């Protein structure tokens, strides 16, 4: 009986190839609906996402502005922030920045530094991978932007975010759309290595205003890294790995 069903299905698809396409499409729809149910904590707004073709995935609120703020002002992005969704202050700051840049942000509540110690995401890594896999497969993205392999200045969460996003992009054959934040330099290295500013004066000031006025809780981090504000740049996955 099983053989008859299989052979019958084969000849139906042979005679009616459109049926096979329709069947595959229905299976994809079922899979997507199942994923939506499993990932309800992401709560993606269909109306907001419909006009967005780029996604930026960062570890913390303020990373999107420090390393990619000009991108957010120039283009429409879905910004996924992995940590601090349970931190009322940082969540509110992130949401204000999204309003200012007119982008769509989703902040998740994976741990940052509970009890003053950076989380190693050991228990959470599988869930983070699943969430990122879901986001990357949600629609066709023009740009997928994230932390560089060095984690900019070496932050472990930046490095892990890069590793997860890169691995999922490789699995989905999306590396041609993958971009990393630029190399990080210490203040004295910028001049000695002849690094050229990529933003104009107005763009620099706009980013500075956002960091100063909308991320007051991150004043210390901002002052540590504000020397990099003028040097924002995206590097393709291919270019990063060709060096």
Per-residue pLDDT, averaged over 79-87, amounts to: 97
d(Cα 98, Cα 26) in Å, to the nearest integer?
35
Among 225, 198, 231, 196, CA closest to 211:
225
- 9: pLDDT strictly greater than 60: no
Domains in the chain: boundaries: 48-234
> With contact defined as beta carbons under 8 Å apart, do 81 and 98 qualify?
no
Model confidence band, residue 222 (pLDDT cutoffs 50, 70, 90): very high
In the chain, pLDDT over 70 holds for what percent of residues? 84
User: Residue 202: is its pLDDT beyond 60?
Assistant: yes
- The model's confidence at residue 39, banded by pLDDT at 50, 70 and 90, is low
pLDDT at 197 over 90: yes
- Residue 37: pLDDT band (50, 70, 90) is very low
Confidence (pLDDT) at 44: 94
Average of per-residue pLDDT across 24-41: 58
d(CA 47, CA 49): 6
Res 190 pLDDT > 50 = yes
Query: Measured between alpha carbons, how far is 196 from 198 in angstroms, rounded to an integer?
Result: 6
Using CA atoms of 166, 169, 175, 179 in order, give the dihedral in degrees to the nearest 10: -50
Q: How confident is the model at residue 18 (pLDDT cuts 50, 70, 90)?
A: low
For domain 48-234, the CATH class is alpha beta
Q: In the chain, pLDDT over 90 holds for what percent of residues? A: 81
**So what's the pLDDT on residue 29?**
56
How high is the pLDDT of residue 56? Answer: 99
Compute the average pLDDT of residues 67-77.
98
Q: What predicted TM-score, i.e. pTM, was given to this entire model?
A: 0.85
Cα–Cα distance measured from residue 130 to residue 24, given in angstroms and rounded to the nearest whole number? 23
Q: What is the mean pLDDT of residues 92-116?
A: 97
Q: What is the pLDDT of residue 42?
A: 85
Residue 41: CB atoms within 10 A of its CB come to 11
The tokens describing 197, both together, are: 């500013």
User: Is 26's pLDDT higher than 70?
Assistant: no
pLDDT at 211 over 60: yes
The three-class DSSP label of residue 62 is coil
Average pLDDT of the chain? Answer: 90
C-alpha–C-alpha distance, residues 86 and 124, integer Å? 15
Q: What is the pLDDT of residue 5?
A: 41
pLDDT-derived band at 110 (thresholds 50, 70, 90) equals very high
Does 131 have pLDDT greater than 70?
yes
Q: What is the mean pLDDT of residues 4-22?
A: 50
């Amino acid at each position: 009986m099983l053989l008859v069903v299989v052979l019958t299905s084969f000849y139906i698809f042979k005679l009616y190839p459109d049926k096979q396409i329709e069947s595959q499409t229905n299976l994809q729809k079922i899979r997507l609906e199942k994923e939506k149910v499993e990932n309800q904590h992401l709560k993606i707004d269909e109306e907001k996402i419909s006009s967005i073709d780029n996604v930026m995935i960062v570890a913390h609120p303020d990373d999107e502005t420090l390393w990619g703020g000009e991108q957010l002002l120039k283009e429409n992005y879905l910004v996924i922030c992995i940590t601090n969704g349970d931190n009322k202050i940082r969540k509110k700051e992130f949401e204000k920045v999204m309003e200012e840049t007119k982008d769509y942000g989703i902040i998740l509540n994976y741990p940052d530094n509970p009890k003053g110690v950076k989380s190693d995401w050991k228990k959470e890594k599988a869930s983070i991978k699943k969430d990122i896999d879901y986001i990357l497969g949600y629609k066709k993205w023009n740009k997928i932007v994230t932390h560089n392999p060095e984690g900019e200045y070496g932050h472990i969460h930046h490095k892990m975010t890069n590793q997860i996003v890169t691995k999922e992009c490789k699995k989905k054959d999306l590396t041609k759309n993958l971009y990393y934040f630029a190399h990080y330099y210490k203040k004295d290295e910028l001049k000695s290595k002849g690094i050229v500013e990529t933003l104009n004066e107005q763009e620099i000031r706009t980013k500075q205003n956002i960091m100063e006025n909308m991320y007051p809780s991150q004043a210390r981090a901002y002052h540590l890294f504000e020397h990099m504000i003028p040097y924002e740049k995206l590097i393709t996955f291919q270019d990063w790995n060709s060096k």
